[in-house]
Chain A
Amino acid sequence: MNIIACVKQVPDTEAQIKVKADGSGIEEGQIKWVMNPYDEFGVEEALKMKEKNGGDVTIICVGPARAMETIRTALAMGADKGIHICDPVFDNADAFVIANALAAAIKTLPHDIIFCGQRAIDDDSGQVGAMLAEALGLPQLTVITKLDFAGSSVKVVRPVEGAQMVIETPLPCVVTAQKGLNEPRYASLPGIMKAKKKPVDVKKAADLGIATEAKAKVAKVVPPPARPPGKIVGGDDPAQKAAELGRLLREEAKAI
């Protein structure tokens, strides 16, 4: 099987995000960069599929030079080779540009199934998987928590509000991974050693022949609106505190 997993490098979930004074973006200096957690589920599922059915796993990533580290992490987990789309023109790209870049690279490769994370925890857009599927003319299965492969099709579980949809789709298709799909493995030490020698092909925008102008632009980034300071509800004992809180929620906040 020809399996592809798309990854993105993002700030760690515990990272403090500081907005640049001119509102043009965030301060990157102190940030610890990791593989997007949802992409880890995608990589893990790709590796499980390869272990069961044979084939190889190609990692594709759009990102600056530092993102090579994330590709190496996926290779250390067990993927076979990588493509790093690395070009400053993608620094201000939107999901549409990124999806088209990924699609252009994937079109040159045989592909049976393509995994993405359901969203990246930096811009939280959750668009790339579906846009990639459209660009490749493939069906999409988004936010998936269970996947069964049966020869030429997959059967997946997709939770929605108040229900779970069970959907069957023939390959090739694009699957976006949600937490719950699997437990991503850690890279082993031998895996890390081997990853250093695995091939990673670096591509520029010009190699892909795509338009790189964003359709949706982040014009300004600002800190979140400050919440007015809260009050600590006092009292001699838990009963008094609870009574006062109940009164405040009813009379002041009108929340109950």
Chain B
Amino acid sequence: MAKGVMIVAEQRDGALRKISLELASTARKLADQTGDEVSAILLGSGIEGLAAELGKYGVDKVFVGDNAALEPYITEAHADVVAKIVKENDPAILLLGASSQGKDLSARVAAKLATGLATDCTDVKIDGGKFVAIRPLYAGKCVGEIEFTSTPAMASLRPNVFAAEENAKAGAVVKVDAAVDAAAIKSKVVEVQKDTSGKVDLTEANVIVSGGRGMKDADGFAVLEALADVLKANVGASRAAVDAGWRQQKDQVGQTGKVVSPNLYIACGISGAIQHLAGMSSSKCIVAINKDPEAPIFTKADYGIVDDLFKVVPELTAVCKKIIG
């Protein structure tokens, strides 16, 4: 019978990604409720050393598949190896990150295993012995509780939502055969163009300072950049600001952009169209700065300032600089 919680850890360039620790910690909490084991799949080249860190966050056993053909990530190769390890070990629950890689991989693996998958979950629980995944629907306009009729029950977890807490377990390394049939791998990564900004992706940011139509033009974002520098934040944008060409597509927050859940989201000159609110309402603390007191963004905000953002934001930058030191 299917038993235990398994995660697919994610690493890039030889370092575990934060989501891997969030997965390990969440899996530990689930497994402790049923007295089960947490195992992890870790794939790549020369990555065995990372198993210890997974152990620190609650993983009992790490299946390490070491093969140069698994770097960089390519769907077909990873999906084959992951599906094989899952079949051999028969976990009851399989968790992945709802990261770029995890989203791509989880759906392929679920299809290979002919099992159910809940993507981009914001909560998971054991309810009456059953695994239940909780995920926003309609970009957060409502929430769905997902139940499974097959094993493993698969869920991908939204980055930045689940806590990564240390809880030391063995993290014992089990080397597995990670051979891939090179002839069957049709896709080839021909180039990896790294972002040189030094910023994490918007979906992984702790603090986001976002601007909308109220920024007036591309130059208007300079005041937000200055605040973001002080807060070590990313700068995001509403659809209006992206469609106007003021910011890049990759900065867009909302139903047709990125769904983000930072600790702090500061919305400046954003009225709060429903499609924008959908992308940021799982943020932990929301600040809205807008001169229109009727702007819908204020209904989602923990703190609001009704005033001209071009006057408030530079003052806020100075205040934060003083506080943070």
Contacts and interface: CB of A to CB of B under 8 A. Distances in A.
Contact of B116 (A13, A133, A214, A255): A214
Contacts of B190: 155, 166-168
A189 interface: no
Contact of A124 (B133, B137, B149): B137
Nearest to B322: A246
A141 B187 CA distance: 9
Contacts of B145: 218-222
A215 B147 CA distance: 8
A13 B275 contact: yes
A64 interface: no
Given A130-B111, A143-B104, A167-B188, A245 B305 contact: yes
Interface string B141-159: 1111111111001100000
Interface string A226-251: 01101111000011011101101110
Contacts of A155: 190
Contacts of A243: 315, 319
Contacts of A11: 138
Interface residues of B, number: 101
Given A130-B107, A131-B107, A159-B250, A167 B187 contact: yes
B100 A143 contact: yes
Contacts of A180: 249
Interface stretch (B52-60, B164-172, B198-206): B198-206
B85 to A, nearest CB: 17
A242 B316 contact: yes
A250 to B, nearest CB: 5
Interface stretch (B20-28, B37-45, B279-287): B279-287
A28 to B, nearest CB: 12
Contacts of B231: 256
B139 A216 contact: no
B1 interface: no
Contacts of A141: 187
Contacts of B301: 230
Contacts of A219: 132, 145-147
A126 interface: yes
A158 B72 CA distance: 13
Contact of B200 (A124, A162, A239, A248): A162
B195 A126 contact: no
Interface residues of A, number: 83
Interface string B267-288: 0000001110000010011111
A250 B186 CA distance: 52
B261 interface: no
A200 interface: no
Nearest to A242: B315
B303 A253 contact: yes
Interface stretch (B63-71, B87-95, B306-314): B306-314
Nearest to B133: A216
Contacts of B75: 130, 139-140, 142
Interface in A8-33: 11, 13-17, 19, 26
A122 interface: yes
A123 B255 contact: no
Interface of B: 17, 72, 74-76, 79, 99-101, 103-104, 106-108, 110-112, 114-120, 132-133, 135-150, 153-154, 186-195, 199-201, 203-204, 207, 231, 249-250, 252, 255-257, 259, 263-264, 273-275, 281, 284-288, 293, 298, 300-308, 311-313, 315-316, 318-320, 322-324
10 contacts: A16-B141, A16-B274, A124-B139, A139-B186, A162-B201, A170-B186, A217-B116, A231-B303, A232-B304, A256-B264
Given A124-B119, A140-B75, A167-B190, 6 more contacts: A131-B107, A161-B100, A165-B72, A169-B187, A216-B116, A256-B207
